[in-house]
């Protein structure tokens, strides 16, 4: 019997605002679409957080035995400056500034994106389609929307008629906005006079003579609107109705709202059963964002070469830090938070190291099967990773008690405990065993841990000359040891 038959997941559905029992459209199968990056610059850690939330979700579904088709696109055309319907294409702009081809920009930042995700131990999605690879599908979709009376053509561009759509549908159903309020609050931008109403959005834009990325269509030489690609690619690979659509919270409006409208206008139904939105990563109390300059790149955080953090952090520490918060909560990236995460991560890894060496007994002081189910319960409750981590730390505490002789564990339970701890730490949370990765920071951290343990042994043997020597020589090398009630930790300068 597959695990998904016994583990009942609840998912917070942004569309209904409720936590709902998860039931896939086809038993045992899950179709999940997540909006991918626009590849015009290096990804920042905010982007990483959103994709990491869905990586964790993907991992858990797979573990439960579902056959998951996970589609995450690459936006390589159609995304204009300020997410608007006019202005320059983000990719073309970068290409112009660097005097290279737009596709060179796409290639460079797609490679960067993949490298970053590999560093953070992401699983690849099942399909990674590009907007430029699906121009034909997008043109077909536009034609259907025109044929159904929900779009109009002006000067070679095609616009979605939001007001017409709203007569028989609810525009704003996902973002809980009302069209009347939007009408009140929309500024009329010059150059948008082609549109019947400012709320309408572009499905196809006629390209200016200087616009490089262009394709022939029945309406003009031009390019698709940004919202359209996700509708075309999600339904192409996952069908007219699929289980989960995800993305960052900032995409709810207008991007996802427009996706729903396009789908209903084309096919008469909302294609998505569960809409999931990951919350934002903040820096200095404000949303991390390329456009405001308030961001930090993964390489800067890992190397410590930045003005914000006191040192570099390993990819697994960053992952652990992110997993300590629910995907639905805002999370502030701080040095203190990362230092605490590093301590926690090291404690977890230490417990994983010693668990195999524990002495067993006839019986166990705690019920390991019950604890294991509590780990599942945390994940089943809308992927509550902070609760899961708290449960893992219950096990860490218990392991240390057994080690000190203050608790007992049977042979079978020890096997189960070890297996479960490894399963949730590595397979589901995607952490990597410090001693098994080839990251230099991680390796050096392990080396310092070894010295800390040798110093502890020296002190137990009352060899204070040696213990002081270890501390002082580490300090000379720029590594300060701090003795606390939970053991010794270190910082670097």
Binding region for ligand AMP (CB under 6 A): 35, 37-38, 46-47, 49-50, 247-248, 250-251, 280-281, 287-289
How many residues at the interface with Zn ion, by CB under 5 A?
2
Q: How far is the CB of 174 from Zn ion (least distance, A)?
A: 13
Task: Tell me which of 230, 260, 396, 481 binds Zn ion, using CB under 5 A.
Answer: 230
Q: How far is the CB of 50 from ligand AMP (least distance, A)?
A: 4
User: Binding partner of residue 429 among Zn ion, ligand AMP, none, CB under 5 to 8 Å per kind?
Assistant: none
Q: How far is the CB of 232 from ligand AMP (least distance, A)?
A: 17
Question: Which residue's Cβ lies closest to ligand AMP?
Answer: 248
User: Binding partner of residue 199 among Zn ion, ligand AMP, none, CB under 5 to 8 Å per kind?
Assistant: none
Q: Which CB atom, from 287 or from 353, has the smaller least distance to ligand AMP?
A: 287
Q: How far is the CB of 25 from Zn ion (least distance, A)?
A: 20
Q: Which range of residues in 223-231, 406-414, 447-455, 467-475 is near Zn ion by CB under 5 A?
A: 223-231
Q: How far is the CB of 79 from ligand AMP (least distance, A)?
A: 7
Q: How far is the CB of 47 from ligand AMP (least distance, A)?
A: 4
Cis peptide before 254 (omega within 30 of 0): yes
DSSP state of 249: G
Q: How far is the CB of 251 from ligand AMP (least distance, A)?
A: 5
Q: Which CB atom, from 172 or from 248, has the smaller least distance to Zn ion?
A: 248
Q: Is 193 exposed, middle or buried (0-12, 13-18, 19+ CB in 10 A)?
A: exposed
Q: Which CB atom, from 43 or from 399, has the smaller least distance to ligand AMP?
A: 43
Q: Which CB atom, from 54 or from 219, has the smaller least distance to ligand AMP?
A: 54
Q: Which range of residues in 40-48, 225-233, 378-386, 402-410 is near Zn ion by CB under 5 A?
A: 225-233
User: Binding partner of residue 246 among Zn ion, ligand AMP, none, CB under 5 to 8 Å per kind?
Assistant: none
Per-residue CA distances from 110 to 141, 244, 276, 319, 320 (Å): 26, 24, 24, 21, 25
Question: How far is the C-alpha of 24 from the C-alpha of 9, rounded, in Å?
Answer: 11
Q: Which CB atom, from 35 or from 378, has the smaller least distance to Zn ion?
A: 35
Q: Is 69 helix (H, G, I), strand (E, B) or coil?
A: strand
Centroid of chain to Cα 82: 22
Q: Which CB atom, from 59 or from 255, has the smaller least distance to ligand AMP?
A: 255
Decide: 245 and 234 in contact? Cβ < 8 Å: yes
How do strand 201-206 and strand 222-224 relate by DSSP bridges?
A: antiparallel
Q: Tokens standing for 149? A: 């009376």
Q: How far is the CB of 321 from ligand AMP (least distance, A)?
A: 14
Q: Which CB atom, from 44 or from 59, has the smaller least distance to ligand AMP?
A: 44
Q: Tokens standing for 181? A: 């309020």
How do strand 242-248 and strand 272-278 relate by DSSP bridges?
A: parallel
Decide: 410 and 363 in contact? Cβ < 8 Å: yes
Decide: 113 and 43 in contact? Cβ < 8 Å: yes
User: Binding partner of residue 288 among ligand AMP, Zn ion, none, CB under 5 to 8 Å per kind?
Assistant: ligand AMP
User: Binding partner of residue 314 among ligand AMP, Zn ion, none, CB under 5 to 8 Å per kind?
Assistant: none
Q: Which CB atom, from 295 or from 371, has the smaller least distance to ligand AMP?
A: 295
Q: Is 193 helix (H, G, I), strand (E, B) or coil?
A: coil
Q: How far is the CB of 181 from ligand AMP (least distance, A)?
A: 23
Q: Which CB atom, from 35 or from 232, has the smaller least distance to Zn ion?
A: 35
Decide: 129 and 233 in contact? Cβ < 8 Å: yes
Q: Which range of residues in 33-41, 78-86, 278-286, 434-442 is near Zn ion by CB under 5 A?
A: 33-41
Decide: 409 and 364 in contact? Cβ < 8 Å: yes
How do strand 222-224 and strand 242-248 relate by DSSP bridges?
A: unpaired
Q: Which CB atom, from 35 or from 260, has the smaller least distance to Zn ion?
A: 35
Q: Tokens standing for 75? A: 């936006």
Q: Tokens standing for 473? A: 């020589």
Q: How far apart are the first and last CA of the chain?
A: 53
Give the up-direction half-sphere exposure of residue 4: CA atoms within 13 A in the CB hemisphere: 19
Binding of residue 35 to Zn ion (CB under 5 A):
yes
User: Binding partner of residue 230 among Zn ion, ligand AMP, none, CB under 5 to 8 Å per kind?
Assistant: Zn ion
Question: How far is the C-alpha of 440 from the C-alpha of 462, rounded, in Å?
Answer: 33
HEC string for 98-119: HCCCHHHHHHHHHHHHHHHHHH
Q: How far is the CB of 264 from Zn ion (least distance, A)?
A: 16
Give me the residues that bind Zn ion (CB under 5 A), please: 35, 230
């Amino acid at each position: 019997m597959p695990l998904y038959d016994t583990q009942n997941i609840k998912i917070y559905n942004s569309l209904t605002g409720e936590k709902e029992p998860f039931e896939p459209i086809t038993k045992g199968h899950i179709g999940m679409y997540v909006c991918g990056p626009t590849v015009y610059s290096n990804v920042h850690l905010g982007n990483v957080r959103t994709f990491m939330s869905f990586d964790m979700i993907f991992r858990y579904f797979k573990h439960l035995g579902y056959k998951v088709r996970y589609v995450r696109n690459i936006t390589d055309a159609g995304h204009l400056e300020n997410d608007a319907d006019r202005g320059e294409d983000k990719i073309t702009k970068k290409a112009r500034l660097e005097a290279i081809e737009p596709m060179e920009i796409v290639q460079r930042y797609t490679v960067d994106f993949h490298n970053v995700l590999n560093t953070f131990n992401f699983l690849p999605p099942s399909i990674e389609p590009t907007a430029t690879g699906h121009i034909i599908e997008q043109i077909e979709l536009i034609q259907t929307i025109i044929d159904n009376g929900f779009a109009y053509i002006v000067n070679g561009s095609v616009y979605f008629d939001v007001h017409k759509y709203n007569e028989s549908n609810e525009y704003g159903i996902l973002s809980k906005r009302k069209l009347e309020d939007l009408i009140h609050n929309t500024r009329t931008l010059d150059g948008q006079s082609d549109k019947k109403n400012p709320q309408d959005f572009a499905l196809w834009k006629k390209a200016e003579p200087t616009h490089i990325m262009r394709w022939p269509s029945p309406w003009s030489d031009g390019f698709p609107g940004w919202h359209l690609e996700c509708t075309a690619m999600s339904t192409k690979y996952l069908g007219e109705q699929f289980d989960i659509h995800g993305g960052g919270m900032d995409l709810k409006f207008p991007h996802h709202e427009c996706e729903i409208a396009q789908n209903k206008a084309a096919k008469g139904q909302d294609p998505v059963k569960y809409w999931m939105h990951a919350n934002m990563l903040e820096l200095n109390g404000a949303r991390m964002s390329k456009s405001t300059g308030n961001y930090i790149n993964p390489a800067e955080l890992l190397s410590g070469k930045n003005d914000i953090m006191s040192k570099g952090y390993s990819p697994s520490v960053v992952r652990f830090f992110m997993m300590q918060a629910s995907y639905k909560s805002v999370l502030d990236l701080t040095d203190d938070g990362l230092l605490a995460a590093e301590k926690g991560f090291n404690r977890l890894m230490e417990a994983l190291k010693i668990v195999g060496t524990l002495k067993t007994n006839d019986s166990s002081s705690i019920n390991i099967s019950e604890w294991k189910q509590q780990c599942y319960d945390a994940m089943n409750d809308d992927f509550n990773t902070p609760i899961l981590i708290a449960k893992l730390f219950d096990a860490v505490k218990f392991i240390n008690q057994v080690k000190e002789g203050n608790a007992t564990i049977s042979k079978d339970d020890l096997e189960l405990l070890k297996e479960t701890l490894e399963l949730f730490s590595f397979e589901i949370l995607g952490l990597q065993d410090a001693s098994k990765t080839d990251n230099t920071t991680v390796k050096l951290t392990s080396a310092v841990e070894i010295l800390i343990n040798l110093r502890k042994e020296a002190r137990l043997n009352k060899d204070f000359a040696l213990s002081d020597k270890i501390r002082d020589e580490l300090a000379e090398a720029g590594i300060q040891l701090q003795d606390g009630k939970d053991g010794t930790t270190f910082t670097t300068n």
